[in-house]
Amino acid sequence: MSRPNFDFPGFNDLEGFITLLSDTRAIFKEEPNYQELPLDRPIVFVGDTHGDIETTEQIFDMFFGTHLIAMLGDYVTRAPVEHGSIKNIHYLFEVKRSHPEDLILLRGNHETPDHAGIIEIMLDLREFGVDAWRNTSSTLYGTFSDMPYVVSTENGLLGLHGGLPDIKSVRGLKLVPKGIEGFPNNGEGLPAHYQTALQILWNDHVATDEPLITLDGSKKEKGNSVYNYSRHTGRLYNQHHFNNVMSLLGKNVLVRGHDYNEKGYAFDDRLLTIFSASKFVNHGNLKGKYVAVMDDPQKELKTAKELRIVQL
Ligand SMILES: [Mn+2]
């Protein structure tokens, strides 16, 4: 099967674009935030595409129709082509609307209104007209707020955008509600599930089993999970935190995107960072732009090395 063809129609059909957002939002709303994936066919995991519509099309040419396509967030900003952010979102939402069972679109930290990187898609939306863009952007934020956060497979894998949050039980992960648009004050003073959602989208790891220390004087912390001073949000964690949360969740392998500097394997090959956009190919311990394929979802997965890396 070849990929569905949805060329971006340009900026003359505002109503069509708004309808696409609302239709897609209705589908996201029905999906649980912690989603068990069906195991009836191979699954391809896709990292950040960041407005790289050409790479997105390449991925759908290669895998659509034969594989479940599970994308781990960050579809907008840093586009290598003009209007790449809106073209990428448009294509992915059209496929989601027409083939909801064949594509999973998780939320990334760029799919939030309070991230500075969102500006690029806002500039794209302005092309619909200055009067229209406020309405369009609030519809877009709403759609983003209902995107799911986590995918899980019974054979031992967990997929999400950023990292493992500080949680005490699986419940903490499963109870993240729909509709959190943004994270004012980094979620401080807000209910616990805001902090969980924020951390899923923003957290990173450091490939060490030593305790971590924040370098931010105002938030002195030392431990297995500490405030992320370099991103000014989310948390950094080490192997102890990773092992603890993974055993709490009963999972062996974590696949995530988010941090191109950590592309590749960590923590005894149980964590894999993937990045699919054409920028940043030279970063990390696994070079290139790539996806990770689970050829046999029925077979128990012990390490991320059992996933097949496909360079794009
Ligand atoms: Mn990210």
Residues of the chain with confidence (pLDDT) below 50: none
Residue type, 30: E
pLDDT of residue 93: 98
pLDDT number for residue 5: 96
CA of 11 to the centre of ligand 1 (A): 27
**What is the per-residue pLDDT for 186?**
82
- Distance, CA 262 to ligand 1 centroid (Å)? 12
Given 3.30.1240.10, 3.60.21.10, 3.30.43.10, 3.30.200.20, which CATH number is that of 14-311?
A: 3.60.21.10
Ligand 1 centre to CA of 202 (Å) is 7
State in Å: Cα 1 to ligand 1 middle.
31
* Token couple for 12: 């003359």
Q: Could you tell me the distance, in angstroms and rounded to a whole number, from the CA of residue 299 to the centre of ligand 1?
A: 30
Residue 175 CB-half CA count within 13 A: 11
Distance CA 75, CA 138 (A): 17
Tokens of 307: 């996933």
pLDDT of residue 117: 67
Residue 219 has a pLDDT of 80
Q: Which residues surround ligand 1, an ion (CB under 5 A)?
A: 74, 108-109, 258
Parse the chain into domains and list their residue ranges: 14-311
**Residue 297 and residue 39 in contact, taking contact as beta carbons nearer than 8 Å:** yes
The pTM of this model reads: 0.97
Beta bridge mates, 254? 158, 271
pLDDT of residue 146: 98
In the prediction, which pLDDT does 189 show?
85
Q: Is 231 helix (H, G, I), strand (E, B) or coil?
A: coil
Cα of 4 from ligand 1 centre, angstroms:
26
